[in-house]
Amino acid sequence: MNNHDRFVTDTAADIAAIARTEGWLVPPAPIGRIALRPWQQAVFWGLRIYIGIMLVIMGLGFFHVAGG
Protein backbone atom coordinates (compact mmCIF):
# COMPACT_ATOMS: atom_id res chain seq x y z
CA MET A 1 0.00 0.00 0.00
CA ASN A 2 1.39 3.35 -1.05
CA ASN A 3 -0.16 6.19 0.90
CA HIS A 4 1.13 5.36 4.38
CA ASP A 5 1.11 8.96 5.50
CA ARG A 6 -2.59 9.45 4.85
CA PHE A 7 -3.67 6.23 6.43
CA VAL A 8 -1.51 5.93 9.52
CA THR A 9 -4.51 5.38 11.76
CA ASP A 10 -6.11 2.72 9.56
CA THR A 11 -5.29 -0.77 10.76
CA ALA A 12 -5.79 -3.94 8.77
CA ALA A 13 -8.68 -4.78 11.07
CA ASP A 14 -10.36 -1.42 10.39
CA ILE A 15 -10.03 -1.94 6.66
CA ALA A 16 -11.28 -5.50 6.83
CA ALA A 17 -14.22 -4.45 8.96
CA ILE A 18 -15.44 -1.72 6.64
CA ALA A 19 -14.85 -3.98 3.64
CA ARG A 20 -17.21 -6.51 5.21
CA THR A 21 -19.83 -4.18 6.65
CA GLU A 22 -20.21 -2.23 3.42
CA GLY A 23 -20.10 -5.31 1.21
CA TRP A 24 -16.90 -4.52 -0.66
CA LEU A 25 -15.68 -8.11 -0.52
CA VAL A 26 -18.72 -9.26 -2.44
CA PRO A 27 -18.45 -8.54 -6.16
CA PRO A 28 -21.27 -6.44 -7.61
CA ALA A 29 -24.18 -8.46 -8.90
CA PRO A 30 -23.54 -9.68 -12.45
CA ILE A 31 -25.35 -7.80 -15.16
CA GLY A 32 -27.26 -9.98 -17.57
CA ARG A 33 -27.37 -9.02 -21.21
CA ILE A 34 -30.73 -8.03 -22.64
CA ALA A 35 -31.51 -7.38 -26.27
CA LEU A 36 -32.93 -4.06 -27.32
CA ARG A 37 -36.50 -4.34 -28.49
CA PRO A 38 -37.13 -3.56 -32.18
CA TRP A 39 -38.69 -0.17 -31.37
CA GLN A 40 -35.70 0.71 -29.20
CA GLN A 41 -33.33 -0.24 -32.00
CA ALA A 42 -35.39 1.84 -34.41
CA VAL A 43 -35.18 4.85 -32.08
CA PHE A 44 -31.41 4.47 -31.68
CA TRP A 45 -30.89 4.16 -35.43
CA GLY A 46 -33.11 7.18 -35.88
CA LEU A 47 -30.93 9.08 -33.40
CA ARG A 48 -27.84 7.90 -35.29
CA ILE A 49 -29.25 9.32 -38.53
CA TYR A 50 -30.19 12.51 -36.67
CA ILE A 51 -26.60 12.80 -35.36
CA GLY A 52 -25.20 12.28 -38.86
CA ILE A 53 -27.47 14.91 -40.41
CA MET A 54 -26.84 17.41 -37.60
CA LEU A 55 -23.07 16.96 -37.87
CA VAL A 56 -23.26 17.76 -41.58
CA ILE A 57 -25.39 20.83 -40.83
CA MET A 58 -23.04 21.93 -38.05
CA GLY A 59 -20.16 21.58 -40.50
CA LEU A 60 -22.05 23.68 -43.05
CA GLY A 61 -22.86 26.30 -40.44
CA PHE A 62 -19.29 26.36 -39.17
CA PHE A 63 -17.67 26.72 -42.57
CA HIS A 64 -20.30 29.23 -43.68
CA VAL A 65 -19.45 31.47 -40.71
CA ALA A 66 -15.73 30.69 -40.69
CA GLY A 67 -15.59 31.39 -44.41
CA GLY A 68 -17.25 34.73 -43.80
Partner 1 sequence: MSAETDILAPAEADRITYTEELEARLHDRLRIQRLRSAPRGLANRLALGLALIGPGLLVMLGDNDAGGVITYAQTGATYGFSLFIPLMIPLGFIAYLVQEMTIRLGAVTRRGHAEMIWKRYGAFWGAFSLIDLVVANILTLMTEFIGIRVASAIFHIPYLVTIPLAFAFIVGILVFLKYYTWERISLFVAAFNLVFVPLALFSHPDWGAIGRTFTGSGWALPGGLFSAGFLILVSANIGTTIAPWQLFFQQSCVVDKGLLPRDIAASRRDLMLGVIGMVAVAISIIVISGQYLHDLPNAASLGDHSVLAGIGSRLGHGAMVIFALGLLEAGMIASIVITASTAWAIGEALDVPRSVNISPRRSLYFYAPAILGTAIAAGVLMLPHVPVGFLNLTVQVIATVFMPAAMLFLLMLLNDRELLGEHVNSPIRNVLSVGVMVMLIVCNGLYGIATVFPHAL
| Distance in Å, CB of 18 to partner 1, minimum | 5
Residues that bind partner 1 (CB under 8 A): 1-3, 6-7, 9-22, 24-25, 28-29, 31-36, 40, 43-44, 47-48, 50-51, 53-55, 57-58, 60-62, 64-66
Nearest to 25 by CA among 15, 33, 34, 35: 15
Helical residues (DSSP H) of the chain, grouped into ranges: 12-21, 38-66
| Distance in Å, CB of 39 to partner 1, minimum | 12
Cβ atoms of 57 and 50 closer than 8 Å: no
Q: Which is nearer to partner 1, 3 or 38 (CB)?
A: 3
